[in-house]
Chain A
Amino acid sequence: MPATLAEKILQQHCDEQITGPGQIVRCRLSLVLANDITAPLAIKSFKKMGAAGVFDKDKVTIVADHFTPNKDIESAEQVKVCREFAKEMGITHYFEGGNVGVEHALLPELGLVGPGDVVIGADSHTCTYGGLGAFATGMGSTDVAAGMALGETWFKVPPTIQVILTGTLRQWVGAKDLMLALIGTIGVSGALYKALEFVGPLASALSVEGRMTMSNMAIEAGGKVGLFAADDKTLAYAAAHGRKGDKAIAADAGAAYERVVTIDATGMEPQIACPHLPDNVKPVSAVAGLKVDQAVIGSCTNGRIEDLREAAAILKGRKVSKDVRTIILPATPNIWRQALAEGLIETFMDAGCIVGPATCGPCLGGHMGILAGGERAIATTNRNFKGRMGSLESEVYLSGPAAAAAAAVAGEIIDPAKV
Chain B
Amino acid sequence: MYHGTAHTVGAHIDTDAIIPARFLVTTDPAELGANCMEGLEAGWIKKVKQGDIMVAGENFGCGSSREHAPIALLGAGIPVVIAHSFARIFYRNGFNMGLVLLEIGDDVSKIHDGDELKVDADTGVISNVTTGQTIQCKPVPPFMKGILDKGGLIPYVQDRLAERV
Which residues of A are at the interface with B, using a C-beta cutoff of 8 A? Answer: 24, 37-38, 40-41, 44-45, 48-51, 66-67, 72, 74-75, 77-78, 121-124, 126, 138-143, 145-146, 149-150, 154, 156, 188-189, 192-193, 219, 222, 224, 277, 364-366, 383, 385-388, 392
Q: Which residues of A contact B153 (CB under 8 A)?
A: 45, 142-143, 146
Residue among B42, B66, B144 with the most chain A CB within 10 A?
A: B66
Chain B 10-32 against A: per-residue CB contact (8 Å), 1 yes, 0 no? 00101011001110111100000
Residue of B nearest to A364 (CB): B21
Residue of A nearest to B20 (CB): A387
Q: CA A78 – CA B40 in complex, angstroms?
A: 26
Residue B87 is within 8 A (CB to CB) of chain A in the complex = yes
Q: Which residues of A contact B16 (CB under 8 A)?
A: 364-365, 383, 385-388
Q: CA A204 – CA B66 in complex, angstroms?
A: 33
Residue of A nearest to B89 (CB): A138
Q: Are A140 and B67 in contact (CB under 8 A)?
A: yes
Residue B136 is within 8 A (CB to CB) of chain A in the complex = no
B161 CB contact (under 8 Å) in A50, A78, A142, A277: A50
Q: CA A222 – CA B90 in complex, angstroms?
A: 11
Which B76-127 residues have C-beta < 8 A from chain A?
85, 87-89, 92-93, 96-97
Q: Are A124 and B12 in contact (CB under 8 A)?
A: no
A198 to chain B, nearest CB (A): 19
Known contacts A149-B157, A365-B20, A383-B16; is-contact A142 B42 (Cβ 8 Å):
no
Q: CA A74 – CA B26 in complex, angstroms?
A: 7
Q: CA A72 – CA B12 in complex, angstroms?
A: 31
A38 CB contact (under 8 Å) in B58, B66, B70, B87: B66
Q: CA A362 – CA B165 in complex, angstroms?
A: 45
Apart from A139-B65, A142-B93: 15 A-B pairs, beta carbons within 8 A: A41-B67, A44-B27, A74-B26, A124-B65, A140-B67, A142-B96, A143-B93, A150-B160, A192-B85, A193-B88, A219-B63, A385-B14, A385-B17, A386-B39, A388-B21
Residue B141 is within 8 A (CB to CB) of chain A in the complex = yes
Chain B 120-159 against A: per-residue CB contact (8 Å), 1 yes, 0 no? 0000000000000000000001011000000001101110
3 interchain residue pairs of minimum CB distance: A74-B25, A140-B93, A140-B67
Q: CA A122 – CA B14 in complex, angstroms?
A: 17
Q: Are B89 and A392 in contact (CB under 8 A)?
A: no
Residue B35 is within 8 A (CB to CB) of chain A in the complex = no
Q: Are A67 and B62 in contact (CB under 8 A)?
A: no
Residue B59 is within 8 A (CB to CB) of chain A in the complex = yes
Residue B7 is within 8 A (CB to CB) of chain A in the complex = no
A23 to chain B, nearest CB (A): 10
A51 CB contact (under 8 Å) in B67, B70, B143, B161: B161
B165 to chain A, nearest CB (A): 10
Q: CA A51 – CA B158 in complex, angstroms?
A: 8
Residue B64 is within 8 A (CB to CB) of chain A in the complex = yes
Q: CA A149 – CA B155 in complex, angstroms?
A: 13
Q: Are B21 and A143 in contact (CB under 8 A)?
A: no
A189 CB contact (under 8 Å) in B21, B59, B65: B59
Q: Are A142 and B154 in contact (CB under 8 A)?
A: yes
Q: CA A49 – CA B17 in complex, angstroms?
A: 30
Q: CA A156 – CA B141 in complex, angstroms?
A: 10
Q: CA A392 – CA B17 in complex, angstroms?
A: 9
Residue of B nearest to A35 (CB): B65
Q: Which residues of A contact B70 (CB under 8 A)?
A: 140
Q: Which residues of B contact A142 (CB under 8 A)?
A: 67, 93, 96-97, 153-154
Q: Are A366 and B21 in contact (CB under 8 A)?
A: yes
Q: CA A106 – CA B156 in complex, angstroms?
A: 32
Q: Which residues of A contact B12 (CB under 8 A)?
A: 188-189, 277
Q: CA A188 – CA B21 in complex, angstroms?
A: 20
Q: What are 22 A-B residue pairs whose CB atoms fall within 8 Å in the complex?
A: A37-B66, A51-B157, A51-B161, A66-B24, A121-B65, A138-B65, A140-B67, A140-B89, A140-B97, A142-B96, A142-B154, A146-B156, A149-B161, A154-B143, A156-B141, A189-B58, A189-B87, A219-B63, A222-B87, A366-B21, A385-B17, A386-B40
Residue of A nearest to B39 (CB): A387
A142 to chain B, nearest CB (A): 4
Q: CA A99 – CA B144 in complex, angstroms?
A: 39
Q: CA A313 – CA B24 in complex, angstroms?
A: 37
Q: CA A140 – CA B26 in complex, angstroms?
A: 15
A363 to chain B, nearest CB (A): 9
Known contacts A51-B161, A140-B66; is-contact A192 B25 (Cβ 8 Å):
no
Q: Are A78 and B25 in contact (CB under 8 A)?
A: yes
Q: Which residues of B contact A38 (CB under 8 A)?
A: 65-67
Q: Which residues of B contact A45 (CB under 8 A)?
A: 153-154
Q: Which residues of A contact B67 (CB under 8 A)?
A: 38, 41, 122, 140-142
Q: Are A383 and B161 in contact (CB under 8 A)?
A: no
